[in-house]
Structure 1
Amino acid sequence: MIHDLWCGDLTGDGVDDVLAANADGYVYCLDGVTGKQLWSFAPTDGPHKTPMYAVCTTKAVDGTKYVACGGYDKSFYWLSATGRKLKAIASSTYSQDRPWGSAKAAGFGHSVNFLLPIPQQGGSADLALCGTMSHMQSPGSLYRFQPLADTPYDKKRISGIKTCSDFAVCDADGDGTSDFIFGGSGLTNDPLTVYNPEAGGMRKLVLRGNGPNGYRISLCELIKDEGKAVYLALTGAHINLIPLDLDASKIEKLGGTYAFNDLWKDPWSGKILLASAQSGGSCIHVIDPSVAGWKDAFRALDPPGKIRAIKANTARAFGHTRSFKAPAWEREPIPVYVPGSKHPVAQEIAATYDRQIFMGGWWHRGRVEKTDWRHRPESYVANERYRGRKDTRNQYVLTQQQVLDQLLPAFEGKTALDFWAGHGNGPLYYSPSTLRKVLEGANGRKTILTWPELESHDDDFRWVVEHIFYPLAEQCAKHNGWMVFKNKDVFWSTSPYLPLWRRMLSGEFADVFCSSMEETTDKTQDLSIAGRMGLWAAGSMNQWGMRTSRDNPSFDRSRQFSYQRLPSHFLRTTIYNLACGATYCGLTYVDDAHFSILWPLLAKGALFVPKREEIVSFSPVHLSMVNPDERYMDEGKNKKWTIYYDERRENENPLVFSHMNGSWPAAALTEWDFSRYASGLRDRRQNFMPPFPHGIVLITPPQQGVYADQNAPRGKLTDHLHPLYKATMKEYITDGRNYCSADGKQTHAANSDYYKTIEAEIQERAKLLPLTVSGDDVAWVCAQTAPKHLRLTLVDGGYLNPGERAAKVTFHTVKPVAITDLLDGSSYKATGDSVEIDVPLGLFRFIDI
């Protein structure tokens, strides 16, 4: 993944060359005429290269050109025009920023957020560097350097924004000195800050009224609007034209349809370049603000290319659902819980198909139950921390009766109701007594209690699990309740294997607990899928779930391009998870019309939701987790701070799952990383639909040896799976740092040759499956629907970059006599032991074999 681009003439041929700062840790220089690579640079030759994040050129007074580059190793580098390293400048030598809280020990320093040249009189250019310590909580500081300098000649803390997500250099007042614009990011408002060093202070402006709330970036440039100088701020799908005095009452707004992945001003022509639409677009759009009519043209912009193709393909597929009839050999669809909608298609499906369950949803609107119950003898919260713990976003003002008066009527006309019972910031929104009365008042209807972001695993939280959650689970078991935990990062491959969750892991409450996800700001979605499905397959839970929400794409909040207006990525992720057996979907539809195809696909059985014993695309190799290593857990959870990199520490502490904390956005995986050899991935980013080319390698509770709980109510893994796994499953064991033998007597380092043994076994045992699927960005799952029928689901797995895919299906233990797409009727014929099936852009195929 390319994090930054810069163009400048480094060879002296009069044509700009191209510099690319890449997430693999390199800066690449390409010839501006031929595209040939001229050179590359990385600070280290080792396997732990943090992403290069920013690059630009500067120019000394004598005309010498330098390249400045930097990223997440807390240094920046001066290079010659030919890529030779001249200096490495450690941020600890000049930084005025120091983290707080648990990250304080990291000391002064920062990662490099932005690098841009500062034009000087006479044609030279200094360097502007924006540093940050956290891509969520620290806007950082602006540092100005002369070319090749070791220390900055000026430092200024950035104010007015929480995260610095855009940076521009301009001369707004024409006085010959540069001004600086910092764009922020947020859910409910769109901030930016303008800094004029000559005037002194920073001026903040909050842009409002830019459409529905969402995770946008304020991208800003100085332009001439038909000759008049104004700031142009692109916020989501809106352009704000802002007077130079930042008078908010005089802002002109232009409402468009789509958000875009970047904005750039051509310094020679003044034209504005918009990068592709965030929803999967394939075009670059050019706006000429000097021409009358450009505003109406922006308002009417309907991107051609991929955007139109996705919409056309989806409409065509929707037409096929109208005439779809499920094959006679397939069973009736199982219940799936999805949010309700007022869309006509949802209303039609709800009236026609009783097996499609539309959940009601109730939102507390920031008002939850008073905390006096925590101090009463019959419900006393003995743990001091959680007796006083509150989610600061809420007011704790309602009586129990007021809660019930608001909540119970929400069940009317619904077969299920989903609501937050707490949050990791404060898990006790309501008393156990209140929740018990809700369960009883539901009168047998499904009650879905949800807790997002339960990250703690200390002794204090253990009290909550043992004294609140487990007794509540007993009540849910009596009253048709689910307890859904929407947890992020590596929770589902770590925390369930700690002592506090032993009863959940055992399967004692298999009908109550439901694993779901809140996969924002992390980069380990494949581990979450393998972990959630592993607990389901093992019998710890009899259901599992998934979630789509507006900030799912936000693995890097410094570049939070998460305002997709066409939710193709959400639709495809949902279909993939359902095809893997998920039955709870916490969905933000964004666009109900685009999502409307999901409902008939489910209700009619076109999208086959398998039971775990029907799936035949689990790898016969599984990885069992024991006593999760503290470093593994810490690396997986610490995704906000960007200043944790230490090459020596990385080399001395290889992990089975690498490059997970905030210093590794889109970084390349190590050769020994589980996500590479098992999930089929190359890097750490939004891997919501992993390829799993040899089958899904589950992360499970231990099955054999000293670590196995032979008396667990869940029974054995193979008791719950398709019969083909009875004699084929092979177990490996890890704690996240090392591999462990079943007898507990041997360990193997993550980067030892032992991983090659596992990799080879995964590849070899894949031949015991009916089939496997390969192809760039193809997600797949296969289930057996009848003695002689397989159902293969193929999905365009390009999460934010959808495309037409070619899926190569290789047959191992079956011989196909017919291969048919159940939606459009296309048929395919195998050649030898394989067949190639095309997957349309932004879509999926449901294949009967």
Structure 2
Amino acid sequence: MIIRLVIISFFLCTTCLKSQVVEDNAGVTHVVVAKSGSTSFLYTSELDGAISAHDIKGKRLWRMTLEPKAVLFEINAADINNDGIDELISASANGNIYCHDVDGELLWEFKPKHKVRFSEVAVIKNEKVQIFAGGNDNKLYELDAKGNLVSVTKIKGVVRKIESGKFLDAKKESLFIMTYSHDKFRWDYFGFMDPLSKKTIKSLSIKKVPDANMTRAMVTDITIADIDHDQKDEILLFGDLNFKSYIMVLNSNFEILMQYQGTKKETQRYAHSQGTYIENQELIMFQHGGISKTLDIKGKVLGQSGERYGAMVYNDFAVDANTNQLVAAGTVDGGDDLHFFDLNKQDWITTRYEEGGRMLEVEKNIQKLYEQTLNFKLPEYQSSSKKEWVMITAKQPNDKVLKLNGAPIKIITQKAPKESTERSELELIMGPIALKKDKRGNYKDSREDIIQMAKEFEANGHPFTFWAGHGNDPFYIRIETLEKILEVAPNTCYGFIYAEMDNVEDPRVIHFVNDYMPRLAKAIRKHNRAKLYFRNKNMFWAATSHLPLWKELFFSDRYNDILVPASEDTSNRIQDLNLAGRIGMYACGYINDFAMRLVDDNPTSWRPLSPGGQNSISPFLRQGVVMAAYGARYGIIFNNPFVEEPNYDVLFALMTSGVLPVVEKENIQSIGSWHLIKNIDEHLVHSVDSHHNLLQYQEDDDEAIFSVAQMHWAGTNIPDYDFSKMLGVNYRWLNYMPTLPYGMIPIAPVEYQPDLKKKDFPYIVTDGKNGYKNDQSIIASKFGQIMKEAAGKGVENLAVIVSGVSWSVIKIDEYHSRVVLVDPGYINPKKRIATIQFQNRYPKSVKDILSGEELIHKDNSFSVDVPAGSMRFIDISY
């Protein structure tokens, strides 16, 4: 039965309004206006594949989840069967294109014969209906109105955008297509295609752009509209240019009709830039982080609201001409609201909404957690930690946090000087590559300047670290300078940070490992305080670290006392693997410490399509807690300016109170089985490490233990035989907090096998692509069952098993364990039900240590709610 929708006038006041709450959603990411006759309604989508319909006031009519779960990249509303009502067309990274009717009934779905990550879909309506979809496999798919495959056209690049519009003919639609070869910039194709012949009508070479900014901006949104009244559509590009807002409008001749750049005063790191065109007012509206503006078609700013880092950051916008409203959907930290702006009001852009819905729930949960933590008293069976938490951050804990007596915390300043010393001796060793420097750095500091800085820190008793190298240049600071820093600041130098150094074929990296490391180790051990922090992304700690050069560094036991691995998770799809790799290094004793890395660009996975600008501390807090609950005593924490108070004080309070104890490796009680790496597959490693390169598609990318991990697969679902499934991960996106259905399964080198046999731990052996049994190689699809059997045996040995959330079990003493339960939805938080099961050892009592609630457990299991965006800490007494 077709739902008949009634238009309701919806007028807003210009004061702060209450949110239109959409219950049970989890992170609304897209909204489109649809029509049923002359009546408007809305379709929305959520991050992991749920779709909904709403009336124009925001009331939900229906909701359903698409399976298998994956990122839903785009939705479109179009009447493809000519019944006068728009259907919903969806492009999912799971490889399907879906069509639902107004009542939510699935009309059809299209899935190619090989795995594809779809990211775009567009509808052409000329003499016939044509539906075009594209993704990562260098092909453009044409479907008819019933979802049947009509044609497949080869294209170059990963599809960034497909749009329909009257670009070249006022009476006929054509296709605009943009494909990428780089994860942020550098398109392969930017042009118009004839939908019948599938031939290019006109295209723009990246070498002949009308303005160089087009190749420098990260385009995060594209809108199609006729803004110059010539009956032909233009392309509106919204994006980020060196963290400033950027808008460019191009016509079909690739002429710039308008260009706008925000000022330095409006700069915001990784701000989510979205925009749209309001036709009946001839306004361009855009949001850049916390600032929203309206402009005329010449680029003149007419209205503005918000402030840098100081307002809600919406996920998407749509305009309904019928009711003259702008609809803002969701927020980038997981909001589920729909906000409506009355365009009839002259100052509509100044309308501010109170926080509501899911994010208000999260805010209250975090505040309650914080207050309970500040009032927490250590139980008699838990002693204060003598080890300190070491946080490299500009964020200073408040006095309330510092007064807690569960553990000390040391706040470390990070500086990043770039040494100006000439490099002739390095050039003699490795050639001209030694002279290559990081383009982002200003190499103006002399050796004497840097040493003097260290002396001043020492004199003032101010603990510090220096960022000393990067994959772009491992020699920010030279070895002789580093040795002198350690000499002049023995009490305050906490070490040196190196980022994104993964290329084992780079002569500079080889020189660093072979020459710098022995000298640094010798200098550090004189004072036994400093550490070397390595920030590496992709799957470095699960796979790349097992390449021969890095294996000698990280798994030789030569440097376990000074190495602190951290995960530089910018543009990462596989955080779960990196976490399992670092836990393996720690639990095996190859390192004595590892670090959490919390930074505002963590939410980015495929950067143009994954927003930054989270206002809530919740995602960063929960990520940090999960890492700390598995032994991360160090932190490299960027003081995210978007985040509202109480900010990181919540995390620091959990640490200093003892609610989150300092975890020694022998006290981790939630490790079930192990994953050992033997002869890591180098092709797999290098294809994943080449994270900016999108032109890597292979049809067998999914045939691996660590499958579909390359950048062009961001957002896709993973097969059942992938190792990440053992960690509770469903798709390649923001997996900081895996649900661990088999407990934690750490990753370690195959040399650890004798120790596991002694301890009777089940394990598997793989090279990252294939598995091994009795030294025989087995393809991933057949090895999956072997993985599940080993994981199942591991679970049998655990005393506590948790399902439904991310979790850890920590031994407090012989008779007490602490269970840490965390909402796993990084930017789609919601209340979860955690089921805790006991086996092998049965408790005398179970207690929530923050609320004081005694929990009833029957039949050796019980369930508890874990608040949205938050966590619970439960002590088991034996």
**TM-score under structure 1 length normalisation:** 0.88
Question: 2:268 aligns to what?
Answer: 213
C-alpha separation in 1, matches of 2:406 and 2:811 = 24
C-alpha separation in 2, matches of 1:550 and 1:827 = 38
Are 1:449 and 2:481 an aligned pair?
no
Contact 2:159 2:177 in 1 (8 A): yes
Deviation at 1:507, TM superposition (A): 1.5
Question: 1:204 aligns to what?
Answer: 259
C-alpha separation in 2, matches of 1:497 and 1:131 = 34
Question: 1:422 aligns to what?
Answer: 469
Question: 1:106 aligns to what?
Answer: none
C-alpha separation in 2, matches of 1:757 and 1:726 = 21
Question: 1:732 aligns to what?
Answer: 764
C-alpha separation in 1, matches of 2:395 and 2:535 = 25
Deviations 1:643-701 (A, max 9, x none): 22132x547xx32110011220111112321111x212111111000111111111112
Deviation at 1:562, TM superposition (A): 0.8
Contact 1:139 1:163 in 2 (8 A): no
User: Residue 778 of structure 2 is aligned with which of 715, 725, 748?
Assistant: 748
Deviations 1:577-601 (A, max 9, x none): 1111101111123235232122222
Question: 1:832 aligns to what?
Answer: 859
Deviations 1:558-615 (A, max 9, x none): 2131111222100111111111110111112323523212222211201123111011
Are 1:684 and 2:732 an aligned pair?
yes
Deviation at 1:494, TM superposition (A): 2.4
Amino acid at match of 1:205: Y
User: Residue 803 of structure 1 is aligned with which of 822, 830, 834?
Assistant: 830
Contact 1:59 1:126 in 2 (8 A): no
Kindly tell me: are residues 352 and 150 of structure 1, through their superposed partners in 2, closer, same or farther at Cα, counting changes over 3 Å? closer
Question: 1:369 aligns to what?
Answer: 419
Kindly tell me: are residues 512 and 199 of structure 1, through their superposed partners in 2, closer, same or farther at Cα, counting changes over 3 Å? closer
Contact 1:439 1:447 in 2 (8 A): no
Question: 2:204 aligns to what?
Answer: 156
Tell me which protein shows more strand as a share of its residues.
2
Kindly tell me: are residues 741 and 84 of structure 1, through their superposed partners in 2, closer, same or farther at Cα, counting changes over 3 Å? closer
Deviation at 1:490, TM superposition (A): 1.2
Aligned to 2:472, the other structure's residue is in SS state: coil
User: Residue 793 of structure 1 is aligned with which of 795, 799, 820?
Assistant: 820
User: Residue 432 of structure 1 is aligned with which of 479, 498, 521?
Assistant: 479
Question: 1:100 aligns to what?
Answer: none
Contact 1:537 1:717 in 2 (8 A): no
Deviations 1:124-163 (A, max 9, x none): 5322222222222314543223433321222234753333
Question: 1:6 aligns to what?
Answer: 76
Contact 2:829 2:869 in 1 (8 A): yes
User: Residue 387 of structure 1 is aligned with which of 427, 434, 437?
Assistant: 434
Contact 1:656 1:672 in 2 (8 A): yes
Q: Which runs of structure 2 are paired with 1:139-150 in the superposition (5 Å)?
A: 139-150=187-198
Kindly tell me: are residues 531 and 429 of structure 1, through their superposed partners in 2, closer, same or farther at Cα, counting changes over 3 Å? same
C-alpha separation in 2, matches of 1:340 and 1:545 = 12
Contact 1:187 1:215 in 2 (8 A): no
Are 1:283 and 2:330 an aligned pair?
no
Deviation at 1:355, TM superposition (A): 4.2
Question: 2:871 aligns to what?
Answer: 844
Once the two structures are overlaid, the 10-residue window that deviates more, 286-295 or 787-796, is 286-295
C-alpha separation in 1, matches of 2:295 and 2:204 = 24
Question: 2:289 aligns to what?
Answer: 236
Deviation at 1:730, TM superposition (A): 2.3
Kindly tell me: are residues 751 and 354 of structure 1, through their superposed partners in 2, closer, same or farther at Cα, counting changes over 3 Å? closer
C-alpha separation in 2, matches of 1:119 and 1:337 = 58
Are 1:538 and 2:538 an aligned pair?
no
Q: Which runs of structure 2 are paired with 1:452-467 in the superposition (5 Å)?
A: 452-458=499-505, 460=507, 461-467=509-515
Question: 1:259 aligns to what?
Answer: 313
Kindly tell me: are residues 356 and 386 of structure 1, through their superposed partners in 2, closer, same or farther at Cα, counting changes over 3 Å? farther
Q: Which runs of structure 2 are paired with 1:654-669 in the superposition (5 Å)?
A: 654-669=703-718
Question: 2:554 aligns to what?
Answer: 504
Are 1:610 and 2:663 an aligned pair?
yes
C-alpha separation in 1, matches of 2:562 and 2:602 = 26
Kindly tell me: are residues 246 and 749 of structure 1, through their superposed partners in 2, closer, same or farther at Cα, counting changes over 3 Å? same
User: Residue 543 of structure 2 is aligned with which of 494, 497, 500?
Assistant: 494
User: Residue 651 of structure 2 is aligned with which of 598, 614, 623?
Assistant: 598
C-alpha separation in 2, matches of 1:737 and 1:348 = 50
Are 1:84 and 2:148 an aligned pair?
yes
User: Residue 443 of structure 2 is aligned with which of 390, 396, 401?
Assistant: 396
Aligned to 2:522, the other structure's residue is in SS state: helix
Deviation at 1:228, TM superposition (A): 4.4
C-alpha separation in 1, matches of 2:491 and 2:254 = 67
C-alpha separation in 2, matches of 1:66 and 1:128 = 14
C-alpha separation in 1, matches of 2:180 and 2:701 = 21
C-alpha separation in 2, matches of 1:680 and 1:431 = 43
Question: 1:97 aligns to what?
Answer: none
Deviation at 1:398, TM superposition (A): 2.2
**TM-score under structure 2 length normalisation:** 0.86
Amino acid at match of 2:648: F
C-alpha separation in 1, matches of 2:503 and 2:776 = 30
C-alpha separation in 2, matches of 1:824 and 1:212 = 42
Aligned to 1:493, the other structure's residue is in SS state: coil
Aligned to 2:485, the other structure's residue is in SS state: helix
Structure 1 residue ranges without an equivalent (≥5): 92-108, 709-715, 719-724
Question: 1:102 aligns to what?
Answer: none
Question: 2:788 aligns to what?
Answer: 759
Contact 1:622 1:731 in 2 (8 A): yes
Deviation at 1:736, TM superposition (A): 1.4
Deviation at 1:8, TM superposition (A): 0.9
Contact 2:334 2:827 in 1 (8 A): yes
Kindly tell me: are residues 402 and 736 of structure 1, through their superposed partners in 2, closer, same or farther at Cα, counting changes over 3 Å? same
Deviation at 1:232, TM superposition (A): 1.0
Deviation at 1:407, TM superposition (A): 3.3
C-alpha separation in 2, matches of 1:766 and 1:559 = 37
C-alpha separation in 1, matches of 2:802 and 2:811 = 16
Amino acid at match of 2:73: H
Q: Which runs of structure 2 are paired with 1:572-587 in the superposition (5 Å)?
A: 572-587=622-637
Kindly tell me: are residues 124 and 817 of structure 1, through their superposed partners in 2, closer, same or farther at Cα, counting changes over 3 Å? farther
Question: 1:550 aligns to what?
Answer: 600
Are 1:529 and 2:545 an aligned pair?
no
Deviation at 1:84, TM superposition (A): 0.7
Kindly tell me: are residues 571 and 459 of structure 1, through their superposed partners in 2, closer, same or farther at Cα, counting changes over 3 Å? closer
Contact 2:136 2:697 in 1 (8 A): yes
Contact 2:160 2:178 in 1 (8 A): yes
Amino acid at match of 1:240: K
Kindly tell me: are residues 608 and 315 of structure 1, through their superposed partners in 2, closer, same or farther at Cα, counting changes over 3 Å? same
Contact 1:350 1:358 in 2 (8 A): no
Aligned to 1:634, the other structure's residue is in SS state: helix
Deviation at 1:211, TM superposition (A): 4.5
Kindly tell me: are residues 354 and 474 of structure 1, through their superposed partners in 2, closer, same or farther at Cα, counting changes over 3 Å? farther
Q: Percent identity?
A: 24
Aligned to 1:511, the other structure's residue is in SS state: coil
Amino acid at match of 1:672: Y
Q: Which runs of structure 2 are paired with 1:299-338 in the superposition (5 Å)?
A: 300-333=352-385, 334-338=387-391
Amino acid at match of 1:424: G
Question: 2:50 aligns to what?
Answer: none
Aligned to 1:262, the other structure's residue is in SS state: strand
Q: Please tell me the root mean square deviation across aligned C-alpha atoms, in Å.
A: 2.4
